[in-house]
Amino acid sequence: METLVKLIDKKLDEYINVNYPKTIFEAMKYTLSLKGKRLRPVMCLETVRMLEGDINTAIPSACAIEMLHVQSLIHDDLPCMDNDDFRRGKPSNHKVFGEAAAVLAGDALLTYAPQTIIEQSVNLSSEQLIKIIHEYTKAAGVYGLIGGQIADIESEKHHFERDKSDTLSYIHIHKTAVLFRLAVKIGCVIANAPDETVLELDDFALKFGLAFQIYDDIMDEISTFEEMGKTIGKDKVADKLTYTSLYGLDNAKKKCLELIRECHDIIDKYGSKVFEEILGIVENKLEARTNC
Amino acid sequence: METLVKLIDKKLDEYINVNYPKTIFEAMKYTLSLKGKRLRPVMCLETVRMLEGDINTAIPSACAIEMLHVQSLIHDDLPCMDNDDFRRGKPSNHKVFGEAAAVLAGDALLTYAPQTIIEQSVNLSSEQLIKIIHEYTKAAGVYGLIGGQIADIESEKHHFERDKSDTLSYIHIHKTAVLFRLAVKIGCVIANAPDETVLELDDFALKFGLAFQIYDDIMDEISTFEEMGKTIGKDKVADKLTYTSLYGLDNAKKKCLELIRECHDIIDKYGSKVFEEILGIVENKLEARTNC
């Protein structure tokens, strides 16, 4: 996994050259270069490797998924959204570059991602490129991330179109699971996976996404700034709809570990050390906790 | 032209169905449905018609260009950018839906545009689709609209990386001309135009874009809210770098009409009534003025 993360960091840096006007390129590169786990691009590359595709073919798409993820973080942190001053342990984008540049840096990443897929991909047919970009637009847009984010914001205002449990599940699927599913789906397109594999790995990515969001909800209650690199305890202050607020800490931990076990059931037969390592991150952190 | 505008209005409405979560779809549709001149999509369709392509093939792309234009208006109007309360004669997006929803509605349109091109286009090859989306990403991103917008914002803060006249020309090319060029370029891809036609029409679109921005700068000084549907005189208050502030009203009018004449020189041989009508909008309004 470490090798893949290094490769992604290097390529993300290479793909964006600082040009005129400097501010916008610097704002794009700033949040993108903050050290993260790079889970989504790693999952994309590992899917391709596991299915015996060529991972070099997948690097631009993997980086595009991270650009989209970072775009969503930059916009989510804005004062008019979650108003977060820190991200990955550093001041968030608008704290460094101002709100206007942060809005524009997010917009820029949102279109630079598909531009990178088109310009940097090698050995992909036009049909594959169109499929990848189509999946990208669905995941990034109103039927994906944006839908999840607006439902999240509305729920903070206690404005519910559906009941709380359906709303929570909609938010988790659209705001979090969506990018893991995108990573695995693009991997399948690049490796020309058969339909049953696509369905199976999509189910894996969905379950992992839900587990990951519950894990994040738990950590917001019991973790520290040092461990997570962002402000902790904000969900409770904002009286936010989360898995822990709706079902309690114990049930959250139980559900999360159950989902991770189901992920193992799907993925173990592929014999992927990287996916084992990713599942382990959530598993080990939760099992070691005595405070939940 | 009126027929084309009606067709675009109808299709824009059809392409976005209100779904869950309602707020985001309503915010997207709100600014999109405000009556505008629809110059960019009309220019796309007319390019295709003029080059004897099938305009039905171009409707999704033409609408996508308008979605991108409206996205840029929604984000430009935000309090952290130009802070405009009105657009096309109505309250701007964030005044109706709040800042968070306005940021997200812009994000949503930015990806719904290429999604619409992929999902709604018929009779286009994958190669044509990739070319269209590539042009879209370049125009929408950091080497297009976003670059122009950030240079504009920096210039308001009197922060110049280049001299004023170069900066102004960069802003006009990237913030305004870019979408007219995109419209014509996509039209050329759809109509399979030969390279020399692409270059000639690109030159036309560039010149029209520059003329249009100078016209807009002039109108900001001498027009009224009723005529333009937006707050007037803001450039002067913000001490903004505009063609009129740098070269004076008389020179601006002269330059604008000169560019329009050059546009006529290029386009007249194609015998397009629609392009004549578009050039006429700027021409007639300026020539009728005695106050500049």
Q: What is the tens place of the pLDDT at every residue in A49-70?
A: 999 999 999 999 999 999 999 9
CA distance A141 to chain B (A): 5
Q: Tens digit of pLDDT for each residue in A89-123?
A: 899 999 999 999 999 999 999 999 999 999 999 99
Give, in degrees to the nearest 5, the angle at Cα A192 between A189 and A198: 65
What pLDDT, on the 0 to 100 scale, is given for residue A229? Answer: 78
Instruction: Show residues of chain A in contact with B149, CB under 8 Å.
Output: 104
Instruction: Show residues of chain B in contact with A23, CB under 8 Å.
Output: 150, 154
Q: Tens digit of pLDDT for each residue in B214-225?
A: 999 999 888 888
Sheet strands (E) in chain A: 86-87, 90-91
Spatial contact of A152 and A217, defined as CB atoms under 8 Å apart = no
Whether B81 sits inside 8 A of A98 (CB atoms) is no
What pLDDT, on the 0 to 100 scale, is given for residue A71? Answer: 98
Q: Which helix (H) or strand (E) holds B63?
A: helix B55-77
Query: Alpha-carbon distance B188 to B173, whole Å?
Result: 20
**A92 by DSSP, 3-state: which?**
coil
B-chain residue closest to A113, CA distance? B137
Task: Please provide the average confidence, as pLDDT, over all residues in chain A.
Answer: 94
Q: Tens digit of pLDDT for each residue in B6-62?
A: 999 999 999 999 999 999 999 999 999 998 899 999 999 999 999 999 999 999 999
Instruction: Show residues of chain A in contact with B26, CB under 8 Å.
Output: none
Q: Is A188 left (phi over 0), alpha (psi -120 to 50) or beta?
A: alpha
Closest CA to A210 of A246, A279, A256, A241: A256
Answer whether residue A226 shows pLDDT above 90: no
Whether B137 sits inside 8 A of A114 (CB atoms) is yes
Task: Please provide the average confidence, as pLDDT, over all residues in chain B.
Answer: 94
- Compute the average pLDDT of residues B184-204: 98
- Compute the average pLDDT of residues A133-144: 98
Contact with chain B for residue A238, Cβ under 8 A: no
> pLDDT-based confidence at B291, cuts 50/70/90?
low
A-chain residue closest to B141, CA distance? A108
Whether A100 sits inside 8 A of B118 (CB atoms) is no
* Residues belonging to chain B: 292
How large a percentage of chain B has pLDDT more than 90? 82
Contacts of B289 (CB under 8 A, 6+ apart): B222, B253
Contact with chain B for residue A119, Cβ under 8 A: yes
A86-100, A224-238, B101-115, B175-189: range with lowest mean pLDDT: A224-238
- Compute the average pLDDT of residues A126-137: 98
Contacts of B80 (CB under 8 A, 6+ apart): A98, A99, A100, A103
Tell me if ipTM is over 0.90.
yes
Answer whether residue B160 shows pLDDT above 90: no
Backbone angles phi, psi at A89, to 5 degrees: 80, 0
**B8 by DSSP, 3-state: which?**
helix
Query: Alpha-carbon distance A121 to B60, whole Å?
Result: 26
Instruction: Show residues of chain B in contact with A28, CB under 8 Å.
Output: 142
Query: Alpha-carbon distance B146 to B258, whole Å?
Result: 28
Query: Alpha-carbon distance A158 to B39, whole Å?
Result: 41
Answer whether residue B235 shows pLDDT above 90: no
Q: Tens digit of pLDDT for each residue in A12-38?
A: 999 999 999 999 999 999 999 998 899
Selecting from A19, A141, A150 the residue whose C-beta is nearest the C-beta of B21 gives A150
What pLDDT, on the 0 to 100 scale, is given for residue B292? Answer: 59
Whether A104 sits inside 8 A of B141 (CB atoms) is no
pTM of the model: 0.96
